[in-house]
């Protein structure tokens, strides 16, 4: 077994991200694109741009395309679209954007199946079993 040392972690942070092929028939017969493994800082930046918190309004404009732009990459794991290019992605067919979005979520462990794994592997806190009728944080949309 190998220990996760600082050097190993820094090397992983600099390395190319894993990718997964996604069929894209909306762009032509036999066309394949990729979704990439997304670093935590990029994901957080998008999440907080959607919901900045502290009573500020949520920005849900073109949200699925913004997520698709975050996931979509070339075969080497380099983003094809920057955050400010999501409007271009938003002009594509819904079926394609949904496939990229859902494939990216699943590949990054952000789908419902990934959420269930997190729930199963997280220790329950006292508030989780308080008997309250209030929804837990896991029940939030």
* More reliable by pLDDT, 124 or 37: 37
Q: What is the pTM of this model?
A: 0.74
The phi-psi region of residue 118 (left if phi > 0; otherwise alpha if psi is between -120 and 50; otherwise beta) is alpha
Chain segment 58-90, per-residue pLDDT in tens: 999 999 999 999 999 999 999 999 999 999 999
State residue 33 phi and psi, 5-degree precision: -120, -170
Confidence check: pLDDT of 5 > 80: yes
Question: Under CATH, which architecture does the 15-109 domain have?
Answer: 2-Layer Sandwich (3.30)
């Amino acid at each position: 077994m190998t220990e996760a040392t600082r050097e190993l972690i820094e090397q992983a942070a600099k390395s190319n991200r894993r990718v997964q092929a996604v069929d894209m028939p909306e762009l032509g017969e036999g066309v394949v694109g990729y979704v990439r493994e997304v670093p935590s800082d990029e994901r957080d930046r998008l999440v907080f741009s959607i919901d900045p918190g502290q009573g500020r309004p949520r920005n849900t404009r073109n949200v699925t395309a913004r997520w698709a732009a975050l996931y979509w990459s070339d075969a080497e794991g380099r983003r094809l679209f920057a955050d400010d290019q999501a409007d271009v992605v938003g002009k594509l067919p819904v079926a394609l954007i949904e496939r990229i979005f859902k494939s990216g979520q699943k590949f990054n462990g952000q789908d419902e199946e990934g959420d269930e794994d997190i729930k199963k592997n997280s220790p329950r806190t006292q508030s989780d079993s308080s008997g309250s009728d209030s929804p837990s944080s896991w029940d939030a949309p």
